[in-house]
Amino acid sequence: MKVLLLGTGAVGEAYTVLTKKADPGGQWLEKLVVADFNLDRAKEVADRIGGGKRFPAVRVDAGNQDQVADNEECMNKFNCQAVAAQTAVGPAIATELLAKGIWQNAGVLPPEAFEPDPFLVRMAVYGFPYGIRDSWNE
């Protein structure tokens, strides 16, 4: 799979780190082009994950939620704030599921168009385990 990442802000940077961590050897992520209006920033993010032909940087002019993750933990694990890691983990998991053919729907579709179980299983693998807490009975 080839991916074009537009924007290397906190979420874009977190996406690159999470995706590279999920596929360090390039089994399903052939190329991740890191693009930003600020080429120096794109190079900084691309170099952080290895740069080169697999993670090139390019310049492109493409014209705070409630947090449920611990910010300090996210800073230690992903080198970004919790809100950025939480926002990036979904697209990173979806990229893996599409690349591996686990999700095969075509077109522009909302998340609910896909089978949720493979996504939920991977949340823990990416460092965001999920669960249901019945606070009604607490």
> What are the structural domain ranges in the chain?
2-136
Per-residue pLDDT of 86-116, as tens digits, reads: 778 888 888 899 899 998 877 777 777 888 8
Phi and psi (nearest 5°) for 33? -85, 120
Q: What is the pLDDT of residues 41-91, one digit of tens each?
A: 999 999 999 999 999 998 876 543 333 456 667 677 767 666 667 778 888
Residue 109 tokens read as 């579709």
Is the model more confident about 133 or about 108? 108
Q: pLDDT tier at 133 (50, 70, 90 boundaries)?
A: low
CATH architecture under which domain 2-136 falls = 3-Layer(aba) Sandwich (3.40)
